[in-house]
Structure 1
């Protein structure tokens, strides 16, 4: 039987940091206000000539260097992003070209903040079905390029970054235990970014080309939905909440995550976030959180992790994994 195993991980963030004091100069806000309501201290911002494919590629190079991995036989690249360099070609195709891979599939997926967990679950399905043997899964964003820096409700939240996992065929040591997916498209108007259509939400859209968020609407949906996702995912397995070593939610807002943990009966010290110094990086928050935890020697081999991505769509995707590195 074919199984899928996570064998390497890497990450990249730009050198440029934008802290809360920087926002005090451009909008009516303060460091204290931002930290109290979001938990964010700073975020990384891509250079003007640095795009999502650049961040993705550097995250893959970090993965390769960290684990001394040969990537010449990678047969699929999945890049989760809502900020591709172009509508086409895909970011994944850029990575394929930069790595010089000749026999490799390449696709981008857009599930916003749930993108990375969607990508992992797609990779698991492709490998366990026998379609592929070695897949790069990348979550990467340059949200600064679609952020309206005159909108104090959203501009303080977003940052840029990338994280990458390598998922490989294994005969007897699977990383993936179970997963779940879902969407509530009727609530899509709570978080959107539009360039073309103005009809979907039956109103004139604000700030075409920029990300627009109804923070209260997203908060209410996430706090009521994510605990159910955690419970439903565990119900598909033989594990309970007490068996979890680490909870890795999308790092959207620290106050939101605290409420989710309280409702899910998950301890705060079991929760991994990348929010404080990277901000909300959408599809990159989960791999960045894991990369930080590994650098701090928190995650150990065979630890049980629950990953839950949730956001624009409104979509969600979870995956329960045994850490195999």
Structure 2
């Protein structure tokens, strides 16, 4: 028999404050129509003053536990993907652990920016396959509103805050592509492209948090090619093809990127779960948010083949293929 990492529950949390595109018109040379036409974003959520990444993560995690019908003491490990931690240290994951009331297991963070949840999910799968953990809570949580330059209209209109969570559990499979659970993953990074998407601050450089900087056109060009390639590579590893895909659940960065990537894979938008219009780009939180919303909508159902893919600063990118 083969051990597989099967999804048992998903959940998400969005801050109460909703920011429509029109709000930016008062302070920036931009319009609702301009933002919609170039990104597909209509609104996003911003964390309240004093509301932290760990607080968002705890609420998403509890929603996932409720969805799975589990208690936190059944969880062996917690992994949080984030680029906007509460503090330099300790890890957000340890604060989530405490916030959920857990005193067992272990918890740590993963940082791969917008690709963070893909890396965290792959890491969690490795823990389960190696026997290190039986159940892993994987969270993507961000407060990107804290690192926006509100005078830069090319970036500050793109991002939002939120958190999504997913619980993986070890289960027996046959070793075939018909198994439920994670079937394959594909990870990449290339540090030569750091200048395309980065934050211009940090502990050992400026001593300040800094602001997000991005060369949007270059990121777009890399994203479409690399996302299609990694998704196809993961499908091939799983013994599947585009014709087997029920849903693509992509990183929700830009609707034009999502459409171009989907077209490059030979699929249509009827196979894509999108939340970018309502959430904006929530970085590492975007895929688990979309998975949770997709399940709530009734789009994602047991037995379906899901492809998740993301690219972020580093550059770092990758994909995971799983059967729900």
Q: Which residue of 1 aligns with 2:176?
A: none
- Deviating above 3 A after TM superposition, structure 1's stretches of 4 or more consecutive aligned residues are 196-199
Provide the C-alpha distance between the structure 2 equivalents of 1:194 and 1:74, rounded to a whole number of angstroms: 36
Q: Which residue of 1 aligns with 2:21?
A: 20
- What is the total number of aligned residue pairs between the two structures? 317
Q: Is 1:191 aligned with 2:231?
A: no
Q: Which residue of 2 aligns with 1:238?
A: 239
Extract unaligned runs of 5+ from structure 2.
174-178
Q: Which residue of 1 aligns with 2:185?
A: 179
Provide the C-alpha distance between the structure 1 equivalents of 2:102 and 2:313, rounded to a whole number of angstroms: 32
* Alpha carbons 1:24, 1:31 under 8 Å: kept: yes
Q: Which residue of 2 aligns with 1:72?
A: 73
* Alpha carbons 2:227, 2:318 under 8 Å: kept: no
Aligned runs of 1:138-153 on 2, under 5 Å? Answer: 138-153=139-154
* Alpha carbons 2:62, 2:100 under 8 Å: kept: no
Extract unaligned runs of 5+ from structure 1.
200-204
Task: Give the superposed CA RMSD.
Answer: 1.6
Instruction: Report how far residue 259 of structure 1 moved.
Output: 1.1
* Alpha carbons 1:2, 1:129 under 8 Å: kept: no
Instruction: Report how far residue 208 of structure 1 moved.
Output: 6.5
For residue 307 of structure 1, give the secondary structure of its aligned residue in structure 2. strand
Aligned runs of 1:207-226 on 2, under 5 Å? Answer: 209-226=210-227
Provide the C-alpha distance between the structure 2 equivalents of 1:67 and 1:264, rounded to a whole number of angstroms: 32
Provide the C-alpha distance between the structure 2 equivalents of 1:165 and 1:26, rounded to a whole number of angstroms: 37
Instruction: Report how far residue 194 of structure 1 moved.
Output: 3.1
Provide the C-alpha distance between the structure 1 equivalents of 2:91 and 2:209, rounded to a whole number of angstroms: 22
Q: Which residue of 2 aligns with 1:36?
A: 37
TM-score by length of 1: 0.94
Q: Is 1:313 aligned with 2:314?
A: yes
Instruction: Report how far residue 169 of structure 1 moved.
Output: 1.5
TM-score by length of 2: 0.94
For residue 188 of structure 1, give the secondary structure of its aligned residue in structure 2. helix
User: Structure 1 residues 103 and 322, CA, compared in 2 at 3 Å: closer, same or farther?
Assistant: same
Tell which deviates more after alignment, 46-55 or 261-270: 261-270
Q: Which residue of 2 aligns with 1:202?
A: none
Q: Is 1:251 aligned with 2:257?
A: no
Instruction: Report how far residue 65 of structure 1 moved.
Output: 2.6
* Alpha carbons 1:273, 1:286 under 8 Å: kept: no
User: Structure 1 residues 124 and 174, CA, compared in 2 at 3 Å: closer, same or farther?
Assistant: farther
Provide the C-alpha distance between the structure 1 equivalents of 2:103 and 2:63, rounded to a whole number of angstroms: 21
Instruction: Report how far residue 197 of structure 1 moved.
Output: 7.8
Q: CA deviation digits over 1:5-41, x for unaligned, max 9? A: 1100100001100111000011000000000000000
Provide the C-alpha distance between the structure 2 equivalents of 1:293 and 1:67, rounded to a whole number of angstroms: 16
* Alpha carbons 1:273, 1:285 under 8 Å: kept: no
Q: Which residue of 1 aligns with 2:86?
A: 85
For residue 171 of structure 1, give the secondary structure of its aligned residue in structure 2. strand
Provide the C-alpha distance between the structure 2 equivalents of 1:198 and 1:57, rounded to a whole number of angstroms: 29
Instruction: Report how far residue 230 of structure 1 moved.
Output: 1.8
* Alpha carbons 1:80, 1:119 under 8 Å: kept: yes
Q: CA deviation digits over 1:55-80, x for unaligned, max 9? A: 00000111223332222121111000
Provide the C-alpha distance between the structure 1 equivalents of 2:203 and 2:132, rounded to a whole number of angstroms: 36
User: Structure 1 residues 46 and 208, CA, compared in 2 at 3 Å: closer, same or farther?
Assistant: closer
Provide the C-alpha distance between the structure 1 equivalents of 2:74 and 2:234, rounded to a whole number of angstroms: 33
